[in-house]
Amino acid sequence: MPIKIDNDLPVKKILEEENIFVMDENRAMSQDIRPLDILILNLMPLKEDTELQLLRSLSNTPLQVNISFIRTVSYESKNTDKEHLARFYTTFDKVRCRKWDGLIITGAPVETMEFEDVEYWNELTQIMDWSEKNVTSTLHICWGAQAGLYYRYGIKKLPLGFKFSGVYEHYPLHKKTPLVRGFDDTFYVPQSRYTGVDKDAIVENPRLEIVSESKITGPYLIIGDEGKNIFVTGHPEYDTVTLDQEYKRDVGKGINPDIPVNYYPDNNPDNKPIKSWRCHANTLYSNWLNYYVYQVTPYEL
């Protein structure tokens, strides 16, 4: 799929070098098709890294996708250049006046805090409220999934007392569900979190369905209201080196973290990690765009 992004977005050059089909604004104007308009609320601290990761995963269907990034105004990022934010990001008040095909709410490094104590919580809940009538389907990732499950369905997060860090085996529960169409019997997903979700509460909620999980890390893919809201508790979009960077960052802080599971060859952090999850990640994002956005959204928004 061609993804249309700003011609000057720094990650555009990296995507092109990786042979990912990126369409500039001039070519997009000549396409006589109805593209999908996807909004990404990027809550991660290293925003450019997340931009690259998500754009890779959104680039693998025949659909044309127009990407727009928004940031919070109630909290100012300390890890991304202000000029980058001003040039490539907008705010909720600038996009709320129209309808969107899809919305992605990313994770954020605030999972040990109570939801209501997060500085931008009120702003996030306003966006979630707005999305109910103005977005065809919303994809929530990691902490974004926990926040969405809590606010939309009252599902509480649970402290683990340790950190899931590594690449864990998962499996689909309902292979005919479009979200997991094309998945293998088992597949791998990066996890990096100190909290989980209440599986029993999800099972008891008639508006929610678990369609994939791990015997170790619990529910992974959860569908709400038949695809209006989709929750991804892991990080399928992660780069090969992301867990490595997190592990070595924590070592440098003296946290003494466990070595990420199923990640380094011979379990040796001196070895280059191997990526074992990209095919699943691409299929997941393609299925979301096709079956829960494109097939559902009317031609005229």
pLDDT along the chain (301 residues), means of 10: 60 61 51 80 92 87 88 86 89 96 96 96 98 97 98 97 96 93 96 96 98 98 98 96 95 94 97 94 94 82 56
What per-residue confidence (pLDDT) applies to 15?
Answer: 59
* pLDDT confidence of residue 176: 87
Main-chain dihedrals φ then ψ at residue 121, nearest 5 degrees: -60, -45
Residue among 140, 170, 235, 280 flagged as catalytic: 235
The model scores a pTM over 0.95:
no
CA atoms of 151 and 130, how far apart (whole Å): 13
Mark out the alpha helices in 228-298 (DSSP H runs): 242-252, 278-287
Question: Is 116 an annotated catalytic residue?
Answer: no
pLDDT of residue 19: 46
- Burial state string for 202-238 with b = 16 or more CB within 10 A and e = fewer than 16: beebeebbbbbbbeebbbbbbbbeebbbbbbbbbbbb
Residue 204 annotated to the active site? no
Q: CA 43 to CA 50: how far, in whole Å?
A: 9
pLDDT for the residue numbered 7 = 67
Instruction: Output Rg (C-alpha) for the chain, integer angstroms.
Output: 18
CA–CA distances in Å: residue 168 to residues 27, 171, 195, 225, 293: 40, 10, 15, 27, 28
- Residue 301: per-residue pLDDT: 56
Of 51, 209, 237, 246, which residue is the catalytic one? 237
Q: Name the residue with tokens 């597949």.
A: 187
Given this model, what pLDDT does residue 284 score? Answer: 96
Backbone angles phi, psi at 241, to 5 degrees: -100, 0
Report d(CA 38, CA 107) in Å as an integer. 17
CA dihedral 80, 83, 87, 90 (to 10 degrees): 60
Q: What is the pLDDT of residue 76?
A: 84
Cβ-contact 201, 155 below 8 angstroms: yes
CA torsion sign for 206, 209, 214, 220 is negative
Residue 76 is a catalytic residue: no
Q: Which of the following is catalytic: 140, 142, 170, 209? A: 142
pLDDT of residue 177: 95
